[in-house]
Structure 1
Amino acid sequence: MDLEISGKRAIVLGASRGLGMAIAQSLASEGVTVFAAARSRDKIAAWAEGMDNVHPLQLDLSEIEEVDAVVDSLLKDGGVDIIVNNGGGPPPGTAQTAERSAWLTFFESMGANLFHMNTRLLPKMKERSWGRIISITSSGVEQPIPNLALSNGIRSAVVGWSKSLANEVAADGITVNVVMPGRIHTQRVDELDAAAAKRTDTDVKEVAAKSRGTIPAGRYGKPEEFADVVTFLASERAGYVTGSKIRIDGGSIKSI
């Protein structure tokens, strides 16, 4: 199937590893010019070696000056057609122990600065009457994950923003969607399993096995499986999908 996005321009955040890296690679394989951004530009440069249509960018979403510098550079060159909002999650913790400073710190990078970047890039999409905005959140926005209160709360704000924006720009040919990963086997999931093992004084293999046992598919997902769904949503073929939340979780979320 021709996804009809060869020659489009995309920025993928959090692209140094995990889901962001897999998404950037999937888009690049479809002929998209990908600006792959993360705090570690060197890590992107390492996996993107030899890929002429992948351009590593240094970007720390917690630093608004860096956000504006990247946006200025992209706009100077014509902007982008596709935005993939993705980033690392905050540390584990409960709602009752999360301090005000933590909520403010992580909302700034995972919410406010992200919204600011998209708002600045949006006008070029509107000029072309075509655009795709895809935000990677978590299954926790539908079924809160224990001990991930910061993530559950802040990513839910991203969902509300996405739905609001989707309604505003649908007539401009721009789609806005949210994709919710379940347990996709990335370094982030390994880190969460390790944290759970330490917290419960349990072997990490036992924690991972117990986690897999709660998934109807009986396994963790592959980053490539997740990335290919995102790439489809970024395509011409998905032009009538907007304002939606898409689960990629092996059936983990229990609600209908």
Structure 2
Amino acid sequence: MDLGLKNKIAFVAASSQGLGKSVAMELAGEGAKVIINGRDKDRLEKTKKEITSAFNTEVTALAGDLSDADDREWIVKEIISKYDHIDILVTNTGGPPSGKFEDLEQDDWDKAYQLLLASAVSIIRSFIPGMKQQKWGRIISITSQAVKQPVDNLILSNSVRASVVGLNKTLASELGAYNITVNNVMPGYTNTNRLKSLIDKNPEVENAKKEIPLGRFGEPEEFAAAVAFLASERASYITGISIAVDGGWIKNIL
């Protein structure tokens, strides 16, 4: 299936590792020009080399912290200077700390807001004008299965990520007239360093496999395939949805 992504310009946030990296590689494999980002410059450069060696496409690496306003402004300016616009925006961040409500301070909540919501609002705002001008765009947010079914001991993620879903559902209505689709993709338990860290802190997380109908954790490539489809021409009539890539873990009907 030709997804129609050849030479599309895609910015994938937080893509030096984990799910973001898998999405960047999937889009590159479809022929998109990919802009990757991460805080660790050495890791980012390693990822760039990995993508360019695997696929014959253009890759730009911009190191910076998207939860920091100054870094966000610099990254956006660099992208606009080089490409003028982007076609595909994938918002993504690392997860906030785990913990129960009484374990966390107000500062933890403030940082989670900056990490998960403020960063998404800022970069979406920056790239909407270009998408409107060309009357084509894809905005996809990587959220979490927690926005549909809260996960124990992850109250920050459960709470703040849900606001990203509300943001994107509203944007889907506001931007539809410009042929811009806005969707969320909710990863379930996926074999990333983030999941390994959670298991190290709480080995009982491993038991989540028993609650997954497919009986295993997902692979990053399986998640990335769903994002690439939503970014494609084939998904031109899909907007305002939250799609789970969770092996059936979420139990609600709608």
Cα RMSD, aligned residues only: 1.2
> How many Å separate the matches in 2 of 1:15 and 1:119?
20
Match of 1:62 among 62, 67, 70: 67
**Structure 2 counterpart of 1:200:** none
Letter in 2 for 1:210: N
> How many Å separate the matches in 2 of 1:132 and 1:141?
21
SS in 2 for 1:111: helix
Letter in 2 for 1:242: T
Asked whether 1:214 is paired with 2:219, we answer no
TM-score, with structure 1 as normaliser? 0.93
Match of 1:72 among 77, 84, 88: 77
Shift in Å, 1:108: 1.1
> How many Å separate the matches in 2 of 1:209 and 1:25?
27
Asked whether 1:254 is paired with 2:251, we answer yes
8 Å CA contact 2:44, 2:63 repeated in 1: no
Match of 2:89 among 62, 65, 83: 83
Match of 2:227 among 205, 227, 230: 230
Shift in Å, 1:209: 4.3
SS in 2 for 1:170: helix
Letter in 1 for 2:71: E
Asked whether 1:34 is paired with 2:34, we answer yes
**CA spacing shift, 1:78–1:180, aligned 2, 3 Å:** same
Q: 1:116-171: per-residue Cα shift (whole Å, max 9, x none)? A: 11101110000010000000011100100000000111100111111111110011
Q: Which 5+ residue runs of structure 2 have no aligned equivalent?
A: none
SS in 1 for 2:202: helix
8 Å CA contact 2:182, 2:240 repeated in 1: yes
Shift in Å, 1:241: 0.5
Once superposed, which parts of structure 1, at least 4 consecutive aligned residues long, lie more than 3 Å away? none
**Structure 1 counterpart of 2:47:** 47
> How many Å separate the matches in 2 of 1:53 and 1:80?
14
SS in 1 for 2:149: coil
> How many Å separate the matches in 2 of 1:47 and 1:169?
33
